[in-house]
Structure 1
Amino acid sequence: MESWLSWTSLFLAIGITAIACIFTLIVLIYALAKSQNSQVPKWRPRNSPVHLLVVLGSGGHTAEMFSMLRRMNLDPSKYTHRTYIVSSGDNFSATKAVEFETTHINHHVNSNAKTASPEPSYTIVTVPRARRVHQSYLTAPFSTLNSFWSCLSVLRGLYPDQSRHSRPASHLSPPYPDLILTNGPATAVCVIVAARLLRLWLFLCGLFSPSAPGRRTSESDSATVPVPGTYQLRTIFVESWARVTTLSLSGKLLLPLTDRFLVQWPALAGKKAWPGMKETEYVGTLMD
């Protein structure tokens, strides 16, 4: 009799666990599909600041990224705060970020003094590497989790490097970046997954709690104020110019997660993670 009860309890526990897992999977798939098809509101508050977060790799990735930023003629009066994420030990990328800010951005400010932001600012944040060169695959998951947690803290504005360069509270509330731009270093996987999870959290809060973050508090507010989180944490992945016929490993991992996936060669146009998902967009060469 006791043996029968123990088996019944075991099967009941397995059944409850299976139902919980299936429900969680359905919610995740629905939220992912919903966000893939959601439109970013065209309307933003007048003169509202835009927080741009740029994920820098090392060597070629960094060179390509700043080449793209120079070509797009980044306007500091629109992108009033810029955060650069670099991996620990990557002094090259941090140096290039400082050079870009002190040359290109300052030149733009001086040539457009009447329209430039009065207090252009930037922050360089150093996070742990997801995986070091020649690191054992046995310890890599732990370093990746450490990097992921740091990236999650950066997106929430709670990382120590950000507290030393804090911005006025009026600049952004909640403190999520509006736009995340990356071209494929390993840290980008942690950043974009963290952004997706934060957006999933806002989505679930909006479903189950009318007063939670990301919801309008009244009908009058809904006509004039956009929902926080619906236009933040948007991600753009730019595949490396060196990728002509196949996507990079980071690209393959992030294809179903990014809002826009830009490629620079025609052979990579129209690729999907699976049916129903957004396609890669061929935009031509983006570097100067």
Structure 2
Amino acid sequence: MFLLLCLAVLLLLLLRLAWIFYRLGKSSKRSSRCRLLAVVGSGGHTMEMLRLLSELGDRYSPRDYVLAETDKRSEVKIVALESERKRGEKVDYGIHRIPRSREVRQSWLSSVATTMTSTLYCFPLLWRLKPDLVLCNGPGTCVPICLVAFFYKVIGLTDVKIIYVESFCRVTSLSLSGKILYIFADSVLVQWPELKNLYPRTIYKGRMI
């Protein structure tokens, strides 16, 4: 298991390096609008993500929300947020569900299979949506989404940015999702200076939520 994890990390590092060289000779031309894909967790993750999204302007449209198929509460909160945005104008957003990669207290061994299932499900979804920006903040659901987005990016099919915002409650160490995304996300934002000291590639801008 440890050997497989090491090989996966090495592969991600090699892919990241290949992408850096690929992008050196290319200029990124983005339109004035940015198609946003936000990965919504549950509970506190949902609350933090919706606070972040409430601060974004109309440039980030259309907006696609991805949540786990077992999450029964987040959709109501998303609809409420978008209703507040509306102000008499048409709101362009969609809600999509994917299999949860890991349930609370699920064993690590069985979570390998469920994560693979979730990742496979994400390939057609990401290809159809083609987001310009993937924004996530910690739920395990974000890992399959970001892996597929990064894969499409590396092979040159999309030019997506992956931004990970670590939860405010993480003070002394990154979450498991944060440690994985630290390897290949374009930006990892933290809300405590202690994390910036431990993980130099992170970006610290104070409290964002």
Q: Same fold (TM over 0.5)?
A: yes
CA deviations on 1:166-195 (whole Å, 9 max, x unpaired) are xxxxxxxxx510000000100111111111
Q: Deviations over 1:238-258 (max 9, x none)?
A: 000001111111111110110
- Distance change (3 Å), C-alpha of 1:267 and 1:190: same
Give the corresponding residue for 1:44.
30
1:27 and 1:249 map into 2 onto residues whose CA distance is 18
- CA shift in 2, pair 1:136/1:256, >3 Å: closer
Give, in whole Å, the separation in 2 of the partners of 1:123 and 1:280.
30
**Cα drift, residue 62 of structure 1:** 0.5
CA deviation after TM superposition for structure 1 residue 233, in Å: 1.7
Residue 106 (str. 1) matches residue 86 (str. 2)? yes
Return the index of the structure with the highest Cα Rg.
1
Aligned in 2, Cα 1:247/1:198: closer, same or farther, shift over 3 Å? same
The TM-score normalised by the length of structure 2 is: 0.84
1:198 lines up with 2:120 in the alignment: no
Alignment correspondent of 2:71: 90
* Superposition pairs of residues 74-153 of structure 1, within 5 angstroms: 74-76=56-58, 78-103=59-84, 105-107=85-87, 110=88, 119-153=90-124
Amino acid of the residue matched to residue 106 of structure 1? Answer: K
SS at match of 2:185: coil
Matched, 1:279 2:201: yes
Which residue in the other structure is 2:3 paired with? Answer: none
* Structure 1 unaligned spans of 5+: 1-24, 114-118, 158-174, 203-212, 214-228, 273-277
State the secondary structure of the residue aligned to 2:77.
helix
TM-score normalized by the length of structure 1? 0.62
1:222 corresponds in structure 2 to: none
Residue 140 to residue 285, structure 1, CA distance change in 2 (3 Å): same
Matched-pair identity in %: 35
CA contact (8 A) 2:12 2:184 kept: no
Q: Supply the RMSD in Å over aligned alpha carbons.
A: 2.6
Q: Gaps (5+ residues) in structure 2?
A: 1-8
Q: CA offsets, 1:26-65, max 9 Å, x none? A: 98645412435757956434x5x32100000100000011
Query: Bigger CA drift: 138-147 or 57-66?
Result: 138-147
| Structure 1 residues 121 and 285, CA gap change in structure 2 (3 angstroms) | same
Change (3 A) 1:180 1:101: same
Q: Distance in 2 between matches of 1:239 and 1:248?
A: 8
Equivalent residues of 2:12, 2:183 under 8 A apart = no
Alignment partners' CA distance in 1, 2:61 and 2:52: 18
Larger mean Cα displacement after TM superposition, 53-62 or 141-150: 141-150
Alignment-derived partner of residue 263 in structure 1: 190
Does residue 1:239 correspond to 2:161, yes or no?
no
Structure 2 counterpart SS, 1:255: helix
* Aligned partner of 1:186 among 135, 140, 143: 140
CA contact (8 A) 2:162 2:187 kept: yes
Contact 1:155–1:176 under 8 Å retained in 2: yes
Q: What is the deviation of 1:131?
A: 1.7
Letter in 1 for 2:177: S
Q: CA deviation at 1:152?
A: 2.1
Distance between the aligned counterparts of 2:53 and 2:11, measured in 1? Answer: 37
